[in-house]
A and B are shown apart, each in its own frame.
Chain A
Amino acid sequence: MSAHMRLAAMVRKESLQILRDPSSLAIAFLMPLILLILFGYGVSLDAREVPVALVVEQPGAETERFVSGFGQSDYFVPKRFYSIQAAEQALRERRVQGIVWLRSNFADNVLDARGAPIGLTVDGVDANQARLLQGYVQAVWFRWLEAYARSRGVDLDVPVNLQQRIWFNPAVNSRNFLVPGLIGVIMTLIGALLTAMVVAREWERGTMEALMVTPIRIHEILLGKLIPYFVLGMGGMLLTVAVAEWIFHVPLQGSMWILLLASALFMGAALGMGLLISVVAKNQFVAGQVAIIVTFLPAFILSGFVFDLHSMPDAIRVITYIVPARYLVAIMQTEFLAGDVWMVVLPNLLALLIMALLFLALVRRKSHKHLE
């Protein structure tokens, strides 16, 4: 009875504090929106409107049709040059990122299997961009070639007839891939950073001391913190999902229930980390710094949210296994883009469960009802 009363008093107090503190509401609801807008509109890993130099040595009907193919694409902003030297100069000055060179014998050799009627030079400074550009130019080239051949009634005779199919993200839209991962980052912010800071604030203001000299049990203090911030974190997560669905039109292929389950387990782990930090750091500045370094940055960099885990060096990849966000991001990306793929979802759910239990057990072990 009185245990129930104490817990209720704690939860009520924490909830009132959350509602009154603009900064915790901002972290829970404004921050996700800002991050979503940033990643939804600002950051994109796709090549888009890339300036490309087109050098046409001998303009004719055929070359013009090819060139207009470039103009129609969203990917390129073609710029006409009349000599290869001028185009190379532009590439050096980074005014263009690639050169497509149609030589004077373009029209003659077009259907000749031996010749190479077009030349492509790309700026390799940004390797990712260069590879994308290469692929896109190739695609335009094939499309044009096909149309050209058909119009002549000639069967296309090219050594490889590339037919690309992209699974799970047919539009190859990087936003669809980033936004699910973002949910993990946002929940880390709420679960670990916010919780670590509010507990540190209690130490700083001396309220923790007053709290401890009441009949409250240590697990009641911990639960009193966990419950409201769990609700807050899930709220932030639902907001993010809603915005992803309805504003950015990221399709959700899998089930909402799995999404919720994974988020709830992850929230347990994140809150555990936050409380663990607050056991060590008893002032807000240190708690904030530690939380950013050990929870937020790993969730950003080592979760597979932006950077591919498989292309990381082994030593770093090993570290990612202790980053809870890694498992959540894997589930989120699968659920959003591919659906309920149990082979992926189950092991990751299990890992999240273990991490949540581990961190919460550690917090319980490390928390004492005295000041040392």
Chain B
Amino acid sequence: MNASGGAGALQVEGLGKHFRSGGREVAALDEVSFRLREGCVTGLIGADGAGKTTLMRLAAALLLPDSGRLSVLGHDTRSAPLAVQSAVGYMPQHFGLYEDLTVQENLDLYAGLQGVAPSARPARYAELMRMTGLSPFTGRLAGKLSGGMKQKLGLACALLRAPRLLLLDEPTVGVDPVSRRELWQIVYRQVEREGMTVLLSTAYLDEAERCHDILLLHEGRLLGQGAPQAFSREVEGRSYLVRARQMNRRMLQARLAVLEGVLDTVIIGDDVRVVTASPRVALPQELDGEELDVRAVAPRFEDAFVARLAARRGGAGVAVAAFEQREAGGDGGPVIEVRKVRRMFGDFCAVKDVSFEVRRGEIFGLLGANGAGKTTLFRMLCGLLPVSAGEARVAGVDLRTARARARARIGYMAQKFSLYVDLSVGQNLEFFANAYSLPRKARRERVAWALENFELAGVTDTQARDLPLGFQQRLALAAALLHRPEILFLDEPTSGVDPIARREFWRRINALAESGVTVLVTTHFMEEAEYCDRLVIMAAGEILAQGTPTGIKAGQRSEALPQPTMEDAFIALIERHARSPEQAA
């Protein structure tokens, strides 16, 4: 390491940046100061809206600070932006590639722009292509690459000149776990071989543990800097896994969450993970006369993040109102039946002969990377896209013959929430109530219900655009439930929201499932798979595995991985799939 005084790779002092939004000044960053550890990978961690991208752009001299200063490799971003831009490697979100140019042409362009001498190029290209595994694809248009390959090409373009500081803005978002792991390997190799300093932003908390150093950003403020272990140590002796014999895990979680001294509860497979407010808090050995199995476990970074946020907010979130119990309809058979469903787009088979069943009141997950076919499958089940072949029944209605009838019985919450951002909260709810053609009286009742149960009453007249992401998410969920659907479809419901908002959201979903609503959810967050009763793992339009989270993880247990996480299991499944004879042929 060469952190010997002098000019650091990135030094930030009293940084402030404001934006105007809807006539209001919003502080994107407020009094942020830190110094990047050199020759390390520093993770910039925070939810959407925390200010990560703003900070990245400030460091790249794409934005100028309103107050404070940034010094990048000894250059001030305000007085010498060009020197900064000449010295750093930068990969923006969505990788900054020209999709109508080939892999090679993208490399040529960025090599030319970064002043890589033509004589030095062939060796550097060969090295980067070998490292990223893109050598066979140099003639392919960047737009025709998979998400993971685009990500690696974007990284290669940023590394052409081996910069001393590498800035990566959410490089792993929406990319499959295998590509994510490969990206981390490439980044680490750069750090070890070239002594590069890397600043990488991410909304995935599980990536924190892969970093040397962490900058924790929340709502424009720096909550802390340190090694991930340092964060975890703060909650040492406060993390437990709890299991009950009889009580179902959702009930158990709900009971544990309200105990005094409990900060956080999360469902992990068959267990409930609990973080307490201090090591002195003892969890009961027994609940409602039932014996509990309580095991102390090592803390994770996420525990520390939640604990810090909870301390700031004065509590880990609100209790969630229960939903009225729905009467069991039908014959108790499966609510969703999917048999050999296929969807073609031209010659391309997006979903290949997929079969599964979902029972009433179940939370069922579709887990896969972008491009795995989840969204296509999902749209077919919502009646938004006709099936090419196979049979699909939702709420007993055949989707091939009565899509409209099926739609009336489902609630759908789309990616990015699909709210009308120019309308107020009340107007959004009114609109959706009308769209579901609720009668006037029911309409008024349901809107009032939504405002009360989703804690939106205080913001009835606020434009949806000006709401924090967590509120938008609640509003979208409320809108999808106005017509009391039997089945709720959630497409990537928690992308980008902070961990506390995500927990709260899942508590509501759990309560809904307990009331008898069936929930189908897609996600690329591995940890969210743990909340599901059962799930399928999808890749390239096929189902690789199906079962309970515990069952799927157990299925991938091996000598090398005695305790696989969901991500380990996912990677093992994908790798086995890639080696299968059918794929090799």
Chain A partners chain B: yes
Q: Is B93 an interface residue (CB 8 A)?
A: yes
In the bound assembly, the distance between CA atoms of A254 and B111 in angstroms comes to 47
Using Cβ atoms and an 8 Å threshold, which residues of chain B touch A16?
Answer: 100-101, 105
Using Cβ atoms and an 8 Å threshold, which residues of chain A touch B114?
Answer: 214-215
Q: Is B88 an interface residue (CB 8 A)?
A: yes
Q: Is A262 an interface residue (CB 8 A)?
A: no
Using Cβ atoms and an 8 Å threshold, which residues of chain B touch A6?
Answer: 112-113, 115
Write the nearest CB–CB distance from B128 to chain A, whole angstroms.
16
Contact A369 B81 (CB under 8 A): yes
Pick from B81, B108, B112, B113: contact of A370, CB under 8 Å: B81
Which of A202-210, A228-236, A277-285, A307-315 lies at the interface?
A: A202-210
Contact B63 A372 (CB under 8 A): yes
In the bound assembly, the distance between CA atoms of A101 and B82 in angstroms comes to 82
Write the nearest CB–CB distance from B23 to chain A, whole angstroms.
18
Which of B54-62, B180-188, B426-434, B460-468 lies at the interface?
A: B54-62
Pick from A209, A211, A369: contact of B113, CB under 8 Å: A211
In the bound assembly, the distance between CA atoms of A209 and B97 in angstroms comes to 10
Render A159-171 as a binary contact track against B, CB cut-off 8 A, 1 for contact.
0000000000000
In the bound assembly, the distance between CA atoms of A150 and B40 in angstroms comes to 107
Contact B62 A213 (CB under 8 A): yes
Q: Is A65 an interface residue (CB 8 A)?
A: no
What is the total of A-B residue contacts with beta carbons within 8 Å? 96
**B window 85-123: CB within 8 A of A:** 85-86, 88, 90-101, 105, 108-115, 118
In the bound assembly, the distance between CA atoms of A6 and B109 in angstroms comes to 8
Contact A205 B94 (CB under 8 A): yes
Known: A216-B113, A370-B62. A206 touches B93 (CB 8 A): yes
Render A181-195 as a binary contact track against B, CB cut-off 8 A, 1 for contact.
000000000000000
Write the nearest CB–CB distance from B29 to chain A, whole angstroms.
14
Pick from A2, A206, A214: contact of B110, CB under 8 Å: A214
Q: Is B275 an interface residue (CB 8 A)?
A: no
Contact A13 B109 (CB under 8 A): yes
Using Cβ atoms and an 8 Å threshold, which residues of chain B touch A206?
Answer: 92-96
Using Cβ atoms and an 8 Å threshold, which residues of chain B touch A73?
Answer: none
In the bound assembly, the distance between CA atoms of A211 and B112 in angstroms comes to 11
Q: Is A108 an interface residue (CB 8 A)?
A: no
Looking at A5, A217, A371, which has the most chain B CB atoms within 10 Å of its CB?
Answer: A5
Write the nearest CB–CB distance from A5 to chain B, whole angstroms.
5
Using Cβ atoms and an 8 Å threshold, which residues of chain A touch B57?
Answer: 209, 371
Q: Is B157 an interface residue (CB 8 A)?
A: yes
Write the nearest CB–CB distance from B424 to chain A, whole angstroms.
25
In the bound assembly, the distance between CA atoms of A205 and B98 in angstroms comes to 8
Contact B115 A210 (CB under 8 A): no
In the bound assembly, the distance between CA atoms of A32 and B249 in angstroms comes to 69
Q: Is A17 an interface residue (CB 8 A)?
A: yes
Known: A9-B109, A9-B113, A10-B113. A207 touches B82 (CB 8 A): no
Pick from A5, A10, A215, A372: contact of B64, CB under 8 Å: A372
Contact B94 A371 (CB under 8 A): no
Using Cβ atoms and an 8 Å threshold, which residues of chain B touch A212?
Answer: 60, 62, 85
**A window 6-39: CB within 8 A of B:** 6, 8-10, 12-13, 16-17, 20-21
Write the nearest CB–CB distance from A120 to chain B, whole angstroms.
62
Tally of chain B residues near chain A (CB < 8 A): 36
Pick from A5, A13, A210: contact of B101, CB under 8 Å: A13
Write the nearest CB–CB distance from A118 to chain B, whole angstroms.
68
Using Cβ atoms and an 8 Å threshold, which residues of chain B touch A21?
Answer: 100
Closest to B64 in A: A370
**A window 344-372: CB within 8 A of B:** 369-372
Using Cβ atoms and an 8 Å threshold, which residues of chain A touch B88?
Answer: 213
Closest to A4 in B: B112
Using Cβ atoms and an 8 Å threshold, which residues of chain B touch A207?
Answer: 96-98
In the bound assembly, the distance between CA atoms of A353 and B100 in angstroms comes to 35
Using Cβ atoms and an 8 Å threshold, which residues of chain A touch B115?
Answer: 2, 5-6, 215
Contact B98 A8 (CB under 8 A): no
Render B47-90 as a binary contact track against A, CB cut-off 8 A, 1 for contact.
00000000001001111100000000000000001100110101
**A window 143-180: CB within 8 A of B:** none
Looking at B61, B98, B157, which has the most chain A CB atoms within 10 Å of its CB?
Answer: B98
Pick from B86, B96, B111: contact of A209, CB under 8 Å: B96
Known: A215-B85, A371-B63. A13 touches B98 (CB 8 A): yes
Write the nearest CB–CB distance from B139 to chain A, whole angstroms.
13
In the bound assembly, the distance between CA atoms of A217 and B81 in angstroms comes to 11
Looking at A213, A214, A215, A372, which has the most chain B CB atoms within 10 Å of its CB?
Answer: A213
Write the nearest CB–CB distance from A215 to chain B, whole angstroms.
4
In the bound assembly, the distance between CA atoms of A211 and B90 in angstroms comes to 10
Closest to A210 in B: B96
Known: A17-B98, A215-B113. A209 touches B82 (CB 8 A): no
Write the nearest CB–CB distance from B480 to chain A, whole angstroms.
29
Contact A213 B105 (CB under 8 A): no
Looking at B91, B100, B118, B154, which has the most chain A CB atoms within 10 Å of its CB?
Answer: B100
Write the nearest CB–CB distance from B110 to chain A, whole angstroms.
7
Render B161-172 as a binary contact track against A, CB cut-off 8 A, 1 for contact.
000000100000
Contact B93 A369 (CB under 8 A): no
Known: A6-B115, A206-B92, A210-B92. A12 touches B62 (CB 8 A): no
Using Cβ atoms and an 8 Å threshold, which residues of chain B touch A369?
Answer: 61-62, 81-82, 85
Write the nearest CB–CB distance from A168 to chain B, whole angstroms.
47
Write the nearest CB–CB distance from A272 to chain B, whole angstroms.
24
Using Cβ atoms and an 8 Å threshold, which residues of chain A touch B167?
Answer: 213
Closest to A21 in B: B100
Pick from A5, A10, A13, A211: contact of B105, CB under 8 Å: A13
Write the nearest CB–CB distance from B73 to chain A, whole angstroms.
13
Write the nearest CB–CB distance from A28 to chain B, whole angstroms.
16
In the bound assembly, the distance between CA atoms of A17 and B85 in angstroms comes to 25
Write the nearest CB–CB distance from A216 to chain B, whole angstroms.
5
Using Cβ atoms and an 8 Å threshold, which residues of chain B touch A17?
Answer: 98, 100-101
What would 28 A/B residue contacts be, using CB atoms closer than 8 Å? A2-B115, A5-B115, A5-B118, A9-B112, A13-B109, A16-B101, A17-B98, A17-B100, A205-B94, A206-B93, A207-B97, A209-B62, A209-B96, A210-B90, A210-B92, A210-B154, A211-B96, A212-B60, A213-B62, A215-B82, A215-B85, A215-B86, A216-B113, A369-B61, A369-B81, A370-B81, A371-B57, A372-B63
- 7 interchain residue pairs of minimum CB distance: A9-B112, A210-B96, A213-B90, A215-B86, A2-B115, A214-B113, A209-B92
Knowing that A6-B113, A8-B112, A214-B85 are A-B contacts, what are 17 other residue pairs whose CB atoms are under 8 Å apart, sorted by A's residue number?
A5-B115, A6-B112, A9-B112, A13-B105, A17-B98, A207-B97, A210-B95, A210-B157, A212-B85, A213-B60, A213-B61, A213-B88, A213-B92, A215-B85, A369-B61, A369-B81, A370-B62
- Interface, chain B (partner A; CB < 8 A): 57, 60-64, 81-82, 85-86, 88, 90-101, 105, 108-115, 118, 154, 157, 167
